Structure 1
Amino acid sequence: METFESLVRAEFRPENTYLNTATSGLLPARTLAALQEATAIRAAGRPLDPLFEDVERARAAFARLAGVPASRVAAGPSVAAQTGLIAASLPAGAEILTAEDDFTSVVNPFHVRGDLKVRAVPLERLAESVRPGTALVAVSAAQSADGRIADLPALREAARAHGARTYVDFSQAAGWLPIDADGYDYTVATTFKWLLGPHGAAFLVVPEDLGELTPLLAGWVAAEHPWDSCYGPVAELARSARRFDVSPGLFTYSGVHSSLTLIEELGVAAVHAHDLALADRFTRGLARLGHEPLPAPGSAIVSVPGLGSKQAELSRAGIQVSDRAGNLRASFHLYNTAADVDRLLDALD
């Protein structure tokens, strides 16, 4: 019987101490094989049907992780593109509530509209800052810079009380933190971080009634019958969230599907326990060294003020972390071990 450790060992053989999943996750061996097979199909001139099927398999796998039907999941290229779709649906003058210094892809499309009222407050005050007239609250489930986790249940209740819609980016959470996409109007997640996929895919979950979104980027793949909609205006848009699809990078989705199968086999609950145990080990080790990370309880991301300048030195020593806003950011995922944590602590000592 395969265990968590044996499954992981079979998929990953990093050449260094990689503690930087919050920037980009490692690709599993099965994903590399899927990418190679996808390119071989193109190179050989074989029919591309299996690659289009992988798009639907990836959509279905993400839907299972998100706890929603696949009919509510749209496939796009990036979080910024999906946020832009939501920003375009809002009426002029609408108020958007965001967290201060949230990731740019989550907030900037609202700013560039130019005719929306974007209000930013500290993450800890987000729920209490929802007010009558707030049209949408947009926030990352886990903050990229420091790993802080938003109080999503409180936000959900506050938004409902004031009639506001919610938009939650799970890019720094999907794969290690359970997702309850059904509790929010819109959710999004890129796949190249904790979901371990290639770059170039982001899933958007929309309401059952498809919300108030206009499929501005709709091409032939957004049709109810795509292969009958290659020329002229689309006669009928898909009756599901697929109407918001952008023509997919087929290689990417073949890789994403394979990566998601690994997450499903391991189980998000097991990954969550593994990642947080390592983050806790690092936090306790920092205390012994006289360092205190930024408060981010329950997060797999740990950021330490004042140590960001050590990133280049650590990289030369074969330890991959990030420098974010002057903080040293370490992020712990399923392929990391206690030995990885201890090596980073030794290097910081």
Structure 2
Amino acid sequence: MTISPLSRAAAAEFAPEVTYLNTSSWGLLPRRTIAAVKALADENAVGRRIGAGSFDAVEAARVGFARLAGVRPDRVATGSSVTVHVGLIAASLPAGAEVLAPEGEFTSVVSPFALRGDLRMRYVPLAELADAVRPATALVAFSSVQSADGRVADLAAVRAAAAAHGARTLLDATQSAGWFPLDAGAYDYTVAGGFKFLLCPRGASFLTVTEEAQETLPKLFAGWVAAGAPWTSNYGPLEHLAPGARGFDEPPAFLSYHGAEHSLALLGEIGTDALYAHATSLAARLRAGLVERGYEVVPGESAIVSVPGLEGRQPELAEAGIAVSAPAGNLRISCHLYNTEADVDRVLEVLGHREPQPSA
């Protein structure tokens, strides 16, 4: 029997003590990532490290994410959270600009725009997003995969509509990067939190910016790290920022990035195509089993499976040692590289057949 590289990696790097199907909330950390974080923490505890960490780890994480995102490393800025990256983009828009977003979009993608108070926000159902772009639209802000229920946006249609009307695009890949093929260069901006399907410690996030869109962003984070020459620009005003997206870097959380380097290397070793095939095949098995048992599921080819109205079963699953989540009234079950058919079958076993609903 041939063991796939993905299965070997999963067995070597992960040993969950529960049936873990909750990567949409946070991803499990690989053993190599934990070892790197512990090593840095130990060095910081006893004074062996010059500085709190290494910028080499940050650069390795940048390169690792760039490889997964399909862009050059100089198109990637490193940071701490999606909200901060989106806030930078929100600050670039002129007063009165229209921002188009899906209804129910994750708050970090829309709140930095909405709370400015001087932008025109417009929300439409996800399926109508491309058709809703108009000449007055300055920016379309949306997730490739919806956090609440795992729906996958029609990416090509939204890109085409935005291009036709001269609107910029902001794609949040937090629920997709790590299992879904990402072409970050096809969008003006992409953002991704590292602590879900990218399997990084929380505190690592990534922003990609096209060369043209780079000129739109204000120099809000003009700290010494954004100067691009670590430890040489610590005093006095900066004369310029680093070229490319590095000029939008935030000071790094070194513990997070020492881990992120290794998590992203692992995903790069396996490859997005293999991760996509594995996660979506498990999700398809789960959807088919749920439908067979009488449940209504959100359709699609996503690694995230959602059952509307079944959020009340989450505590029961937790009691049975199955980790899932229940956002926005949905039971949300997410599959990733460390999951197996046995995990899916365990969920189906615990949920059982849907109780017949009383007639009205």
What TM-score, normalized to structure 2?
A: 0.94
Aligned to 2:54: 51
Aligned to 2:129: 126
User: Do structure 1's residue 236 and structure 2's residue 235 form an aligned pair?
Assistant: no
Aligned to 2:167: 164
Taking only aligned residues, the RMSD between alpha carbons, in angstroms, comes to 1.2
- The answer to whether the Cα contact below 8 Å between 1:38 and 1:51 also exists between their aligned partners in 2 is no
Q: Deviations over 1:80-134 (max 9, x none)?
A: 1100000000000000000000100001100010000010000000011000111
Q: Which amino acid aligns with 2:203?
A: G
Question: 2: distance between equivalents of 1:122 and 1:26?
Answer: 32
Question: 1: distance between equivalents of 2:57 and 2:84?
Answer: 21
Alignment of structure 1 residues 134-149 onto 2, 5 Å: 134-149=137-152
Equivalent of 1:11 in 10, 13, 37: 13
Q: Which amino acid aligns with 1:27?
A: L
Aligned to 2:197: 194
User: Do structure 1's residue 103 and structure 2's residue 106 form an aligned pair?
Assistant: yes
Q: Which amino acid aligns with 1:267?
A: G
> Does the residue aligned with 2:65 lie in a helix, a strand or coil?
helix
Aligned to 1:88: 91
Question: 2: distance between equivalents of 1:49 and 1:348?
Answer: 47
Question: 2: distance between equivalents of 1:315 and 1:194?
Answer: 21
Q: Deviation at 1:232?
A: 1.4
- The answer to whether the Cα contact below 8 Å between 1:75 and 1:202 also exists between their aligned partners in 2 is yes
Aligned structure 1 segments of 4 or more residues deviating by more than 6 angstroms: none
Equivalent of 2:38 in 36, 39, 56: 36
- The answer to whether the Cα contact below 8 Å between 1:223 and 1:237 also exists between their aligned partners in 2 is yes
Q: Which amino acid aligns with 1:305?
A: P
Q: Deviations over 1:320-349 (max 9, x none)?
A: 011111211100111000010011100001
Alignment of structure 1 residues 153-302 onto 2, 5 Å: 153-209=156-212, 210-295=214-299, 297-302=300-305
Aligned to 1:70: 73
Question: 2: distance between equivalents of 1:314 and 1:178?
Answer: 30
Q: Deviations over 1:49-96 (max 9, x none)?
A: 862110011001101111111111111111111000000000000000
Q: Deviation at 1:21?
A: 0.4
> Does the residue aligned with 2:235 lie in a helix, a strand or coil?
coil
- The answer to whether the Cα contact below 8 Å between 2:52 and 2:254 also exists between their aligned partners in 1 is no
- The answer to whether the Cα contact below 8 Å between 2:179 and 2:275 also exists between their aligned partners in 1 is yes
Q: Deviations over 1:307-326 (max 9, x none)?
A: 11011121111100111112
- The answer to whether the Cα contact below 8 Å between 1:41 and 1:47 also exists between their aligned partners in 2 is no
What is the number of residues matched between the two proteins? Answer: 348
> Structure 2: any 5+ residue segments left out of the alignment?
353-360
Question: 1: distance between equivalents of 2:93 and 2:71?
Answer: 24
Greater CA drift, 220-229 or 111-120: 220-229
- The answer to whether the Cα contact below 8 Å between 2:79 and 2:252 also exists between their aligned partners in 1 is yes
Question: 2: distance between equivalents of 1:3 and 1:324?
Answer: 33
Question: 2: distance between equivalents of 1:50 and 1:82?
Answer: 23
- The answer to whether the Cα contact below 8 Å between 1:89 and 1:214 also exists between their aligned partners in 2 is yes
Question: 2: distance between equivalents of 1:183 and 1:121?
Answer: 22
- The answer to whether the Cα contact below 8 Å between 1:51 and 1:251 also exists between their aligned partners in 2 is no
- The answer to whether the Cα contact below 8 Å between 1:229 and 1:235 also exists between their aligned partners in 2 is no
> Does the residue aligned with 1:113 lie in a helix, a strand or coil?
coil
- The answer to whether the Cα contact below 8 Å between 2:32 and 2:263 also exists between their aligned partners in 1 is yes
- The answer to whether the Cα contact below 8 Å between 1:198 and 1:255 also exists between their aligned partners in 2 is yes
> Structure 1: any 5+ residue segments left out of the alignment?
none
